[in-house]
Amino acid sequence: MDRSLSAKQIPNRERLIVALDLPSVAEAKALVERLGETVVFYKLGLQLFMAGGYFELIEWLRARGKKVFADLKFFDVPETVRAAIMQLHGRGITFTTVHGNDAILKAAVAEKGDVQILAVTVLTSLDRGDLESLGFQCDPQQLVLSRARKALELGCDGVVSSGLEAQTLRDELGGHLLVVTPGIRPVENSVEDDQKRIMTVKDAFSSGADYIVVGRPIRNARDPKAQAEAVQAEIAALFESHQLG
């Protein structure tokens, strides 16, 4: 039995979050309709926010029983972040992301209401060389752990972290924080992209992730629904075998 597998009471089918990183609301809706009941949880990021109709899309998703992750990575002076987080109240949003220092995270947590705050640790598009160029003289794992500890102290509900650091977070912080892991690539996916710290579905969950975010491997698949169903089947097999063990 894998002791790192998430023990949180999350329906297996909600552990997959599909990223709707598309140019328009119409294309996002088309993908959601194509995926049908296979996917329950969707991430809406900055591209759709700038396309217009962001909150109308959230209402459309919620009316269809879908869960929403508003991945807007708020980063500004604390008062501005606090006021922005207030705009998410009452919209049925499950998660949102916040970047920044203690004061920014604290402001977000103070106004979170019915939205769970995920602190961004280190983007999965960055490796050690990128961090050094930004002035961080440490490896990604150390930085992720440091930021996660601080997020926990400040009252954040979880963190966004590569699966490569998930095991360290579980070893050091136990199950106190939700771990949401992007940069997921199925084994057969070999398309080059901007994600550097990537991991497979099985390895991410075996390392302690509670949720995974999958974008291009599903969106760009020849049959997106079949690809999503394959991921869901893999998740179900992992957690069902864990429960049996």
Residues annotated as catalytic (active site), given as ranges:
73
In a domain, 7, yes or no: no
What is the phi/psi pair of residue 214, to 5°?
Answer: -125, 125
What's the pLDDT at 236?
96
In a domain, 175, yes or no: yes
In percent, how much of the chain has pLDDT > 70?
Answer: 83
In a domain, 157, yes or no: yes
In a domain, 122, yes or no: yes
Number of domains observed in the structure of the chain: 1
Q: What angle do CA 233, 10, 96 make, to 5 degrees?
A: 105
Sorting pLDDT into bands at 50, 70 and 90, what band is 8? very high
The predicted-structure confidence for 127-160, as pLDDT tens digits, reads as follows 545 444 545 555 666 677 888 888 999 999 999 9
DSSP code string of 150-216:
HHHHHT-SEEE--HHHHHHHHHHHTTSSEEEE--B--TT-----S--S-B-HHHHHHTT-SEEEE-H
In a domain, 86, yes or no: yes
In a domain, 92, yes or no: yes
In a domain, 6, yes or no: no
Q: Is the pLDDT of residue 243 over 70?
A: no
In a domain, 4, yes or no: no
CATH number for the domain harbouring residue 61:
3.20.20.70
What's the pLDDT at 108?
97
